[in-house]
Amino acid sequence: MSSIRQLPSSLLGLVSLGAWLPAALTLVVLLLPGGWPGASTVYAKNGMVVTRSLHASEAGVAMMRQGGNAIDAMVAASFALAVTHPAAGNIGGGGFMVIRLADGTVATNDHREMAPSGATRDMFLDETGKFVRERSLLSHLASGVPGSVAGLLAIHERYGRLSRKQVLERAILLAEKGFVVGYPLSRSLKRMEERFQAHPASRIKFLDDEGNAPEFGDVFRQPDLAATLGRIAEEGKDGFYRGKTAQLIAKEMAENGGLITVEDLAAYKSVWREPVRVSYRGYEVIAMGPPSSGGVLLGFMLQALQPQDLASLGPGSAQALHLMTEIERRAFADRSKHLGDPDFYPVPTSRLLSPEYVTMRMNDFDPEHASVSSELLPGVFEVQQESAETTHLSALDRDGNAVSYTTTLNGGYGSGIVVAGAGFLLNNEMDDFSAKPGEPNMFGLVGGEANAIEPSKRMLSSMTPTIVLNNGQPFLVTGSPGGPTIITTVYQIITNVMDHDMALYDAVARARCHHQWLPDSLVCEPDALSADTIRELERMGHPPIAPYRRGKIGDAHSILVQEGVMQGVADPRNDGVAVGL
C-alpha cells in the first residue's frame, strides 16, 4: 500500500479500478482517444460522462461500451457516486434530472425528498418559538424521505436500455471490494471524524477502532451499502422502499426521535414534472421546474438579460457585474415569496417567466446605481461550520441523448447519520424548508408560506440541472452544487459561453460572483474582481464586496458540443473527472 500512496490521486483511481477490473479494461481507460481522463478538456465522439469521481464517470462510460445510452450511463454513475463520493453521492437523498432524448423528447424527473407524514410546521422551533438549527441539520428530524432510488429507477425503467442489474453492478462491486481512497476524499473524511463518532452506524461505516477515517491510499469497503445496493438490484424500488431496507430506516428513526416510517417510505414516488423552457440568444434552455427554484430563476434571469448587450460590457467588468447582480437580486426576492412545492402551493411559474413580467420587474433597474434589498436580516449570513455538498453529473451519448443531473444530501455528508445496517447516509434536506417566516436556512435563504413545512411536502431547492440546445441539438449540459449559488453559477456559465464566447473550460473555470437579494451583499470567489472593478461597484452603491464564505463557488461538471465533437470539462475547483468514449 505504501507505494500506492506515492501516486497522484487520478492514478490511484485507476490503480483501484485495476484491483478488481480486468487489466484490459484499465488499459482501455488509459488509451482513451480523448486523452488522459482528468485533462482540462476531454474530447470524444461516442459518449461523455463528467462527474465528481473517476469511478463514477468510468462506470457511466462502461454502460455506453455495453450498448447502453446516456440514461443507463447516468444511472450507473449516480449509484457509483453513492459509493465513491459519500459527501453528496447518495441513495439517502434526492435530486432532479433533466433529460433530452435524441428524438426530441424532453423529460424532467423530481425525486426531491418529502417531509415525513409526521412533520409539523414548527418542528424546528423550541418552546419559545426560537429556531433550533441543530435539529434541522444534524438530528434524525433533519431528514426528508429519500427520493434518489425511486427517481433513478423510474428514469432507468422509462428510458434506459440495459438491465437494472447492469446499471447497479459497478456500484455494488465498488462497495463490496472497495476502492482506493484519493487524497481529497481522505481529507474530507478526516474533517468529519468527530461527527461520525456521534452515531454508532456512522462510526462503523467510516471509522476504525481508533476513530480514524480511511487515509489516502487505503482501500475503503462498505459491505452494508453493498448489500443495500444488492437489494435494489434484485427487487427494484421495493429493495429500498419496502422490506429490509425500509425497516432498517424506520428502526433508525424510531429509536432516535426521527419521523420517517415504513408507510412514508412505501408512499414515496418520484414525479415527472413540466420542464422550464426559455430561449436565450437563439438557443433553447431546458431546466428544472418547481419544487426546484433553479429553472424558474435561471429562466427569469436570462430573459431579463436578453435585451442587454452583455458582450459589449465585457466579462468581469463592473457594468456587467452590476447588471447581473441587479437581475439576481430581483430573482431571489421573488423566490422567497413565490416558490415552493407546486403540489402544495400555487407557484406562478408562467407569470414569473412571462416577458411582460420580466420587463416590468426590470423597470427600476438603474445602470449606474445599486438598488437596496428591501429588508436586511437581523444578523448576517450565519457562518456554517460543515461544508455543504451537492454534486452534478452530465452525460451525452453518441445518439445525442443528453442527461443533466444534480443530486444532494444537502449538507456535506447530510446529517452525518448512517442508517444502522443499511450503510448509507441520511440527508438533512428539511433545512431547505422555511422553518419560520424570515428565518434564514443554512444558505441564508429566507422564505414564507410557499415553502413552510407541511407533511409530505417537498422542500424548495435551488438545484439547476440544465440542457441547452442549438438548432435543436444538444449544445451544453451543465449544472452545479452550491445551494443558491447553483443558480447563479449556471447563469454565469451560460453567459460566459453565449455572450462572451468563452471556451467551455474557461467558462467553467472563471471565478464567480453571487447575489441572492438577502443578505444584501455581492459575494465573489477570491481573485474574481480587480481592485478597480471593486471600487467601481462600490461607487455604484453596492455594499462592500465580500469574499464568498466557503471560498469556492460551485463545481460544474459540463459538456459542450462543437463541430460534432463532445468536450467534457470537470470543474477544476475539485477533483471531478471527464471520461470520453
Q: Is 270 in the site for ligand DON (CB under 6 A)?
A: no
H or E stretch covering 221: none
The window from 188-196, 271-279, 386-394, 534-542 that contacts ligand DON (CB under 6 A) reads 386-394
Residue 554 and residue 573 in contact, taking contact as beta carbons nearer than 8 Å:
yes
Q: The C-alpha cell of 421 is what?
A: 445496517
Nearer to ligand DON, 139 or 533 (CB): 139
Pairwise CA distance, residues 179 & 226, whole Å: 13
Q: What pairs with residue 391 in β-bridges?
A: 407
Cα–chain center distance at 310: 28
Number of residues that bind ligand DON (CB under 6 A): 14
Residue selected from 390, 488, 492, 533 as contacting ligand DON according to rule CB under 6 A: 390
Task: Provide, rounded to whole angstroms, the least separation between the CB of residue 470 and ligand DON.
Answer: 28
The window from 98-106, 118-126, 210-218, 384-392 that contacts ligand DON (CB under 6 A) reads 384-392
Q: Is 489 in the site for ligand DON (CB under 6 A)?
A: no
Q: Is 481 in the site for ligand DON (CB under 6 A)?
A: yes
Task: Provide, rounded to whole angstroms, the least separation between the CB of residue 388 and ligand DON.
Answer: 4
The window from 97-105, 358-366, 461-469, 471-479 that contacts ligand DON (CB under 6 A) reads 461-469
Q: The C-alpha cell of 122 is what?
A: 414548527
Residue selected from 463, 476, 570, 578 as contacting ligand DON according to rule CB under 6 A: 463
Q: Is 482 in the site for ligand DON (CB under 6 A)?
A: yes
The DSSP code for 575 is T
C-alpha distances in Å from residue 476, one per residue of 72, 106, 200, 396, 540 = 19, 15, 44, 10, 34
| SS3 labels along 484-545 | CHHHHHHHHHHHHHHCCCCCHHHHHHCCCEECCCCCCCCEECCCCCCHHHHHHHHHCCCCCC
Task: Provide, rounded to whole angstroms, the least separation between the CB of residue 448 and ligand DON.
Answer: 17
Residue selected from 149, 304, 486, 559 as contacting ligand DON according to rule CB under 6 A: 486
Residue selected from 461, 521, 533, 567 as contacting ligand DON according to rule CB under 6 A: 461
Q: Which residues neighbour 279 within 8 Å (Cβ) at sequence distance 6 or greater?
A: 285
H or E stretch covering 263: helix 262-267
Task: Provide, rounded to whole angstroms, the least separation between the CB of residue 427 and ligand DON.
Answer: 8
Task: Provide, rounded to whole angstroms, the least separation between the CB of residue 313 and ligand DON.
Answer: 29
Residue selected from 315, 342, 414, 483 as contacting ligand DON according to rule CB under 6 A: 483
Q: Residues 228, 245, 390, 533: which is the catalytic one?
A: 390
Q: Is 178 in the site for ligand DON (CB under 6 A)?
A: no
Per 3-state DSSP, the chain is made up of helix, strand and coil in percentages (nearest 5) of: 40, 15, 45
Residue selected from 389, 499, 525, 571 as contacting ligand DON according to rule CB under 6 A: 389
The window from 44-52, 126-134, 459-467, 571-579 that contacts ligand DON (CB under 6 A) reads 459-467
The window from 299-307, 334-342, 456-464, 566-574 that contacts ligand DON (CB under 6 A) reads 456-464
Cβ burial 484-501 (10 Å sphere, 16+ → b, else e)? bbbbbbbbbbbbbbbbbe
Q: Is 72 in the site for ligand DON (CB under 6 A)?
A: no
Closest CA to 287 of 303, 298, 272: 298
Pairwise CA distance, residues 133 & 145, whole Å: 19
Nearer to ligand DON, 38 or 481 (CB): 481
Burial class of residue 367 in the structure, from the number of CB atoms within 10 Å of its CB (0-12 exposed, 13-18 middle, 19+ buried):
exposed
Amino acid (1-letter code) at residue 337: K
CB atoms within 10 A of CB 564: 7
Task: Provide, rounded to whole angstroms, the least separation between the CB of residue 46 and ligand DON.
Answer: 31
Residue selected from 166, 222, 373, 408 as contacting ligand DON according to rule CB under 6 A: 408
Q: Is 142 in the site for ligand DON (CB under 6 A)?
A: no
Active-site residue flag, 349: no
**Region for 360 from its dihedrals, namely left if φ exceeds 0, alpha if ψ lies in -120 to 50, beta otherwise:** alpha
Q: Is 407 in the site for ligand DON (CB under 6 A)?
A: no
Task: Provide, rounded to whole angstroms, the least separation between the CB of residue 411 and ligand DON.
Answer: 7
Q: Is 349 in the site for ligand DON (CB under 6 A)?
A: no
For residue 48, give the 3-state DSSP assignment: strand
Nearer to ligand DON, 136 or 533 (CB): 136
The window from 55-63, 222-230, 351-359, 480-488 that contacts ligand DON (CB under 6 A) reads 480-488
Pairwise CA distance, residues 400 & 75, whole Å: 17
Nearer to ligand DON, 50 or 87 (CB): 87
Q: Is 388 in the site for ligand DON (CB under 6 A)?
A: yes
- Catalytic residue annotation: 390
* Contact footprint for ligand DON (CB under 6 A): 388-390, 408, 410, 429, 432, 461-463, 481-483, 486
